[in-house]
Amino acid sequence: MISYLAVLLGVSAQDPSFWMPLVLIGLLFGIIVAGAVLGGFDIGVGCLLPFAPAELRARMLSLLGPWRDANEFWLFLGMGLFATAFPNAWGAVMGRLYLPLCLLALGVLLRSVSFELRLRSPLPMQALWIRGFALGSLMVAFAHGLLLGELVVNYQTRSGYAWFSIFIGACALAAYSLLGACWLIMRESGELRVRAVIWGRRAVRWTAAGTVGISVVLVFANAGVFLKWTAPGMWRVMASLWGGMFLIFVALEMRLQRMVNRSYRTTALPFVLVLLIFLIVLGGLAYSFFPFLVLDDMTIWDAAAPVSTLRLILSAAVVALPVAIIFNGWVYWRMFGLSRPPAPPPFKP
């Protein structure tokens, strides 16, 4: 496929103007996946705060403490890479997504401010900042759904498409809540785990509905995507993806139902299953859009910066990427497994 694209563009596959945008779009996709997966449980726990008793909310936020700064890293890194590596698409994409982007920016700001001020405010004010963090999380999750809905319908603004984007926004809330609930199941014990199982059971079917809605509308609202997925030989891939997705949702539903009825043992299986769902959806979207940034209008090569700029960005990535991988591996490796609150030191009179 890569060689075919190079022929269509009239360049060699070894030409820097061809392979550099490919490398950077792959890096951008990796950042998007990392932000959705690694930052997703953070957003999901925030979305669940309004449904938790007041006495459990502080514990939920304390569980997020070690990863808060790292989770903010992915959004800004992705936006910076997109703006510098693909500047010609900035106006075309961002100009059509100003409403969900403004909502996303306000939500991120509210989350960051509320989390920091809660740690520094007197006890009577902490409940206010917890509510601010929850509101910011709901705004961020809904904004992600609106962005995804707008991309799927290719920025069409008729009323039916607008309602579809709102529906996907609601399903994104459910998906992030499901990810946060499954992370809490893995990390916490006692009452909080019991409540997380119930929250996950309520969110899983809305997540499935959103996944089906995105897939169906993406294929039937865009002729190019429809032809790509119905090309000879692709029906096996489609059947495998849909069959795998169905089995994952069934296994997740059954596991959560079993935990409601019989077992509350520590398990990472629900969290891993939700991660698989996120990866399949994001991978399907990437395949559907490639090689376009604006579907059927602007390819990644049309949007890319000059080769000199791309060379500078890649040089910086070669230096910074190993550092980022080591740092984030060191930060995130403790996100799995049961969390045990630190024991207070012995009192010596």
Secondary structure E strands in the chain: 292-294, 298-299
Three-class SS state of 293 = strand
**What is the pLDDT, as a whole number, of residue 176?**
94
Contacts of 231 (CB under 8 A, 6+ apart): none
Q: How far is CA 23 from the centre of its chain?
A: 21
Mean pLDDT by 10 residues, the chain (349 residues): 56 71 88 83 91 88 74 78 85 81 90 84 84 93 91 77 89 94 86 89 92 88 81 82 90 86 72 91 88 81 86 85 75 65 59
Q: Which residues, listed in sequence order, are joined to residue 298 by a DSSP beta bridge?
A: 294
Tokens of 221: 């609202």
Look at residues 254, 253, 257, 160 and name the one whose alpha carbon lies nearest to residue 213.
Answer: 160
Three-class SS state of 13 = coil
Stated pTM of the model: 0.88
CB 48 within 8 A of CB 199: yes
- Residue 239's CB is within 10 A of a number of other CB atoms, namely 10
The span from the CA of 279 to the CA of 281, in Å, is 6
Look at residues 148, 197, 151 and name the one whose alpha carbon lies nearest to residue 177.
Answer: 197
The span from the CA of 61 to the CA of 42, in Å, is 9
**What is the pLDDT, as a whole number, of residue 136?**
93
**What is the pLDDT, as a whole number, of residue 266?**
64
